[in-house]
Structure 1
Amino acid sequence: MNYSAGAITVQSDLTILLNHAHPDAAVAREKLNAWTELLHKAGTIHLYKLSALSLWNAVSMGENERDMLEWMKQNSTNGLPLKAEAMIRAWLNRFGKVVLYYDKERLILAFDSSLLHTAPLMSLVHKWAVSSINECRFVVNAEDRGLIKQELTRSGFPVIDQAGYIAGEDLPVQLRTTTRSGVSFRLRSYQQEALARWKHQTELLCGSGVAVLPCGAGKTVVGIAALASLRKAALILTSSSTSVQQWKQELLDKTTLTEQDIGVYCGRSKQVRPITIATYNILTHRSSKTADFAHMQLFTEREWGIIIYDEVHLLPAPVFRMTADIQATRRLGLTATLIREDGCAEDVYSLIGPKLYDMNWKNAEQQQVIAEVHCTEIRVPLDKAVQMKYEKAGAREKLRIASENAEKLTVVRQLLEKHADKQTLVIGQYLSQLSEAAQLLQAPLLTGEVSHEKRQKIFDQFKSGPIRVLVLSKIANLAVDLPDASVAIQLSGSFGSRQEEAQRIGRLLRPKQGTNEAWFYTLVTDQTKETEFAMKRQLFMLEQGYQYERVELKEKV
């Protein structure tokens, strides 16, 4: 094959083809990860898409227009089409041109004169303006700060927020150099870099932001370091009661905080203290669809110096709405993947902040920060009797029939025999399927219906060794800390969710003793709709440099 041409082909519609067989593909993929989103894979060709948001996030992380355009021109087989270049320049030209700031206690919305005759912008400016100072500067209501940013960003005009923050309550807290468990502790270099980028943003009054690190790489530590650097009261929002306890344990272990400093706000506990940790679920709880959210007052319960949004990719819509009202509080989002399949990625950007740091998973693996994960897709045949039922079913029912293929449980048994000395997670979507798997394997089944206390007891037994196999529902998508798990078998999933695939693989990423290896198996019914969804699910991991070995099941695994 002739590789004199570049590794990519940029098209006029702002899609980019990456030839994965090209010698420079790895370097090109890392560049594209920072600027684009992977849409599709067909053989050795990966299809990426440039968007205004992906470009603005890239600029927020330090990329610049000249270097990006030059790289595309040099590495594209057909150069950079004029139409694509014009659109990229137009999007990037808007970055930094709209600003919010305070002047004499008035919140000012200002924009560059080059945008003066841009009809969509002017329409929104006049919608929010209270009064005008001149043709490019307008007074707006302070309470509309978040909504203005949200609406302008959605319309293609990212706002640089220089309006600053309230100080927040003082809290004397420091990081320890030796943890309470007696282990020497300091931030890793990448954690220091993520923290430095966030602090640089807040010191410049330019806004808060999001740090993206692989599962197991210490996102929690970055959050703890952020609140310790501010030495202010903090509200920490996370995905589950298990995660709440993990945050509390890490805070006690790695900082000078005491039990009395930390409040837990979930389940039956409603403690509000200088550091308060709550779940998204409790914040969005209400007695009926028309009732008020009973616990949203937590956002204003104290004068928080920072709000940390753990697993920010899971942030529910009501919390977005409340976040829009508290833009004067510093914010830090933490996640392993910024993918949102609900169309709210722009809201994360405008209300939490831009992406400031993004650590590639394969780079983390090479540094031995996380385990090396081997990904395998096993194609399982559908029994002929079930095949007839599948053919007659509707689209949604077809997926369920394929997902619950009973032949998958035979493969699970074979994989458990293959990895008999490894601690294994069996994960799925459908409770009937999981119940059958738990009964067959004589393993505990953990779902959202299992109490936190019982769940924690089983997790502890899994960590200490008596239990070697766990069957998990969608709770496996959340922050379940099972560092010794080195095998995960996915029976079924939520349609084509890239986010879910990444979170489930994330359960295996904690560094392992010995060879530091782990294995992820996804079982897919061959020649069914499940294969299409499997390809979509794998896109994020492919983007990070992972490859799925495909096994067509004809004999024992």
Structure 2
Amino acid sequence: MSIPQLRLDQGTLVMKEVPSCVADLFQWDARSQSYRARGMSYRAIVEGLRNEKVAFQDKAADFLKLELGFAREIEPYPHQRQALAAWKRAGRCGVVEVPTGGGKTFIAQLALRDTPRSALICVPTIDLLTQWYSGLVAAFPDANIGMLGGGSKDETPILISTYDSAAIHAETLAGRYGLLICDEVHHLPSDFTRVIAETSLAPYRLGLSATLKRSDGRERDLDQLIGPVVFSVAPGDLAGNTLAAYKDVVIKVRLSPKEQQRYDDLIHQRNDFLRLNGIRLGTIDGWKQFIMSSGTPQGRAAMLAHREAKSLAYGTEGKLRVLEEILANHPDARTLIFVNDNATVYRISREFLIPAITYQTSAKERVAILDRFRSGEYQYLVSGQVLNEGVDVPEASVAVVLSGTATEREHIQRLGRILRRAEGKQAVLYEVITEGTTEERVSQQRRGQWQPRRELELEDLNAPD
């Protein structure tokens, strides 16, 4: 009797004959006249066959054992040691949730040191791609480390890739890497990028994030794609020790009587349309329905009302006066200013003479602006959502969030921009919200403080754009 073979074909595992002990992991493919299983089932299949002492030929995996000299002499913080130990106890599969500034990349370096196998590291942005590359080259100076994305297409035992590039080349990468590390792992469950984990044979998987929550609830899929959360620590648990001590200050401003009347009229107009059409904005499906309905004259009018109300809440004159006062109260502090819309970014840039970064800013210009901010040539920087992830600015100690208070993930990401520890540093996060609007409700809801107040606020103003 021939020994069964396990092969890899186009991101799926293939066997002509399947032993009964792993039969439930395979499905019959009539087209190829063989049994197929997802790449991510590799570990379960191999362990099942070995536990039953079933002989087989592994023609699927092409992992490499690496000789890694670790050059970092830094003593891990207690939470980093605990995270690494928890991941190992979980079979080297699972998610570690550590706030920005808490040393997630160092935890990953320790995991790679202790699991010296060919490794694929996925990151969401080009900025993070280059940061990870620099960090890994410093930690493992003798290793062959490459990049995929941003113009690079290396084939190396340790490969750092953007999620988009790894998804495009998922079938090619599937059998090469025994360790899969996903930074900002909440990006992984999307329709386009989840193929990275589904096709990968990697028996060892590590996910890293400051906060896992997604608006569509798909963070639950990470249990299968990477593994369960094995370690979690909150920013407050590390403040004053691993991270800078910080204060979180909420400042409420009011719309002018004229602005408030206009806001109320707009919300009533929008909500009347939503009720008539049975649409609720509290879910992704509800927002999709709203977008689809905006093709009608009534729907378009409701959408325009929604957007104008949002602009009023986000860009009220009162917020700019508060911003001016905050900057005056911190004359020497390196300060980041976050808003949700580019129009307000550019308005603040013009009126306060502050450099701005948006998605429209070229890569070279972005690097130049951040370098000048780090060096102290620029004291202030205003941005939209592009600085939520992947920016290492230890010198920043004040953040002002003028809009965009809806999600816990966004809040923690922005807080993390100012939490990197420095001698004598006291970080402050100001959250400036408009009273009497749903911006106030979503802020309170995130903090667990919200109580229903009035019928006008039943719908979520901060639906995704």
- What residue in structure 1 maps to residue 316 of structure 2? 405
- What residue in structure 2 maps to residue 310 of structure 1? 183
Check if 1:518 corresponds to 2:439: no
Q: How far apart, CA to CA, are the structure 2 residues paired with 1:383 and 1:211?
A: 45
- What residue in structure 1 maps to residue 68 of structure 2? 173
Shift in alpha-carbon separation, 1:392–1:227, aligned structure 2, 3 A: same
CA-to-aligned-CA distance 1:135-162 (integer Å, 9 cap, x gap): xxxxx9562475899xxxxxxxxx9995
- What residue in structure 2 maps to residue 240 of structure 1? 125
After the TM superposition, which residues 450-529 of structure 1 pair with which residues of structure 2 at under 5 Å, given as runs? 450-493=361-404, 496-514=406-424, 516-529=425-438
Contact in 2 for aligned 1:446/1:472 (Cα 8 Å): yes
Among candidates 64, 67, 79, match of residue 190 of structure 1:
79
- What residue in structure 2 maps to residue 448 of structure 1? 359
Contact in 1 for aligned 2:178/2:202 (Cα 8 Å): no
Once the 2 structures are TM-superposed, how far is the Cα of residue 519 of structure 1 from its aligned partner?
0.5
Once the 2 structures are TM-superposed, how far is the Cα of residue 109 of structure 1 from its aligned partner?
5.7
Once the 2 structures are TM-superposed, how far is the Cα of residue 264 of structure 1 from its aligned partner?
1.9
- What residue in structure 2 maps to residue 335 of structure 1? 209
Indicate the percent of aligned positions where both proteins have the same amino acid: 29
Q: How far apart, CA to CA, are the structure 1 residues paired with 2:19 and 2:196?
A: 22
Which has the larger displacement, 328-337 or 420-429?
A: 328-337
Among candidates 332, 346, 350, match of residue 435 of structure 1:
346
CA-to-aligned-CA distance 1:89-121 (integer Å, 9 cap, x gap): xxxxxxxxxxxxx9x9747469xxxxxxxxxxx
Contact in 2 for aligned 1:445/1:472 (Cα 8 Å): yes
Count matched residues. 382
- What residue in structure 1 maps to residue 445 of structure 2? 536
- What residue in structure 1 maps to residue 170 of structure 2? 296
Q: How far apart, CA to CA, are the structure 1 residues paired with 2:20 and 2:96?
A: 28
Q: How far apart, CA to CA, are the structure 2 residues paired with 1:539 and 1:161?
A: 45
Contact in 1 for aligned 2:95/2:230 (Cα 8 Å): yes
Once the 2 structures are TM-superposed, how far is the Cα of residue 489 of structure 1 from its aligned partner?
0.5
Structure 2 stretches lacking a partner, 5+ long: 1-14, 29-33, 51-59, 272-305, 451-465
Shift in alpha-carbon separation, 1:370–1:210, aligned structure 2, 3 A: same
- What residue in structure 1 maps to residue 293 of structure 2? none
- What residue in structure 1 maps to residue 6 of structure 2? none
Once the 2 structures are TM-superposed, how far is the Cα of residue 177 of structure 1 from its aligned partner?
4.4
Once the 2 structures are TM-superposed, how far is the Cα of residue 375 of structure 1 from its aligned partner?
0.8
After the TM superposition, which residues 19-168 of structure 1 pair with which residues of structure 2 at under 5 Å, given as runs? 106=19, 108=21, 143-144=37-38, 146=40, 166=61, 168=63
What amino acid does structure 2 have at the position aligned with 1:233? S
Q: How far apart, CA to CA, are the structure 1 residues paired with 2:26 and 2:45?
A: 16
Q: How far apart, CA to CA, are the structure 2 residues paired with 1:222 and 1:326?
A: 22
Q: How far apart, CA to CA, are the structure 2 residues paired with 1:381 and 1:537?
A: 20
Check if 1:223 corresponds to 2:134: no
Shift in alpha-carbon separation, 1:321–1:252, aligned structure 2, 3 A: closer
Once the 2 structures are TM-superposed, how far is the Cα of residue 218 of structure 1 from its aligned partner?
0.6
Once the 2 structures are TM-superposed, how far is the Cα of residue 426 of structure 1 from its aligned partner?
0.4
Contact in 1 for aligned 2:61/2:201 (Cα 8 Å): no
Among candidates 372, 382, 390, match of residue 245 of structure 2:
372
Q: How far apart, CA to CA, are the structure 2 residues paired with 1:529 and 1:344?
A: 25
Once the 2 structures are TM-superposed, how far is the Cα of residue 167 of structure 1 from its aligned partner?
7.1
- What residue in structure 2 maps to residue 325 of structure 1? 199
What amino acid does structure 1 have at the position aligned with 2:177? W
Q: How far apart, CA to CA, are the structure 2 residues paired with 1:510 and 1:234?
A: 27
Shift in alpha-carbon separation, 1:478–1:387, aligned structure 2, 3 A: same
Once the 2 structures are TM-superposed, how far is the Cα of residue 231 of structure 1 from its aligned partner?
1.7
Once the 2 structures are TM-superposed, how far is the Cα of residue 330 of structure 1 from its aligned partner?
1.8
Once the 2 structures are TM-superposed, how far is the Cα of residue 452 of structure 1 from its aligned partner?
2.3
RMSD, aligned α-carbons:
3.1
What amino acid does structure 2 have at the position aligned with 1:249? S
Shift in alpha-carbon separation, 1:406–1:147, aligned structure 2, 3 A: farther
Shift in alpha-carbon separation, 1:357–1:238, aligned structure 2, 3 A: same
Shift in alpha-carbon separation, 1:264–1:128, aligned structure 2, 3 A: closer
Q: How far apart, CA to CA, are the structure 2 residues paired with 1:450 and 1:161?
A: 48
CA-to-aligned-CA distance 1:372-425 (integer Å, 9 cap, x gap): 221111111112222232122136332332112132111111100101110000
Q: How far apart, CA to CA, are the structure 2 residues paired with 1:162 and 1:352?
A: 17
Shift in alpha-carbon separation, 1:413–1:256, aligned structure 2, 3 A: same
What is the TM-score with the length of structure 1 in the denominator?
Answer: 0.63
Q: How far apart, CA to CA, are the structure 1 residues paired with 2:312 and 2:409?
A: 23
What amino acid does structure 2 have at the position aligned with 1:274? P
What amino acid does structure 2 have at the position aligned with 1:526? E
What amino acid does structure 1 have at the position aligned with 2:67? P
Shift in alpha-carbon separation, 1:235–1:298, aligned structure 2, 3 A: farther
Q: How far apart, CA to CA, are the structure 2 residues paired with 1:305 and 1:145?
A: 12
Shift in alpha-carbon separation, 1:348–1:162, aligned structure 2, 3 A: farther
Shift in alpha-carbon separation, 1:105–1:218, aligned structure 2, 3 A: farther
Contact in 2 for aligned 1:166/1:329 (Cα 8 Å): no
- What residue in structure 2 maps to residue 41 of structure 1? none
Q: How far apart, CA to CA, are the structure 2 residues paired with 1:487 and 1:160?
A: 51
Check if 1:211 corresponds to 2:96: yes
What amino acid does structure 2 have at the position aligned with 1:507? R
Contact in 2 for aligned 1:428/1:493 (Cα 8 Å): yes
Contact in 2 for aligned 1:488/1:505 (Cα 8 Å): yes
Check if 1:278 corresponds to 2:180: no
Contact in 1 for aligned 2:42/2:203 (Cα 8 Å): no
Once the 2 structures are TM-superposed, how far is the Cα of residue 303 of structure 1 from its aligned partner?
1.2
- What residue in structure 2 maps to residue 34 of structure 1? none
Q: Secondary structure at the match of 1:438?
A: helix
What amino acid does structure 2 have at the position aligned with 1:433? T
Which has the larger displacement, 229-238 or 162-171?
A: 162-171
Shift in alpha-carbon separation, 1:522–1:318, aligned structure 2, 3 A: same
Shift in alpha-carbon separation, 1:433–1:162, aligned structure 2, 3 A: farther
What amino acid does structure 2 have at the position aligned with 1:271? D
What amino acid does structure 2 have at the position aligned with 1:365? A
Which has the larger displacement, 479-488 or 377-386?
A: 377-386
Shift in alpha-carbon separation, 1:486–1:267, aligned structure 2, 3 A: same
Q: How far apart, CA to CA, are the structure 2 residues paired with 1:174 and 1:481?
A: 26
CA-to-aligned-CA distance 1:263-291 (integer Å, 9 cap, x gap): 1222222223222111124445xxxxxxx
Once the 2 structures are TM-superposed, how far is the Cα of residue 460 of structure 1 from its aligned partner?
1.4
Shift in alpha-carbon separation, 1:490–1:335, aligned structure 2, 3 A: same
CA-to-aligned-CA distance 1:151-179 (integer Å, 9 cap, x gap): xxxxxxxx99955995721222122244x
Q: How far apart, CA to CA, are the structure 1 residues paired with 2:68 and 2:45?
A: 30
Shift in alpha-carbon separation, 1:469–1:348, aligned structure 2, 3 A: same
Check if 1:391 corresponds to 2:285: no
Check if 1:426 corresponds to 2:315: no
Contact in 1 for aligned 2:337/2:382 (Cα 8 Å): yes
- What residue in structure 2 maps to residue 263 of structure 1? 146
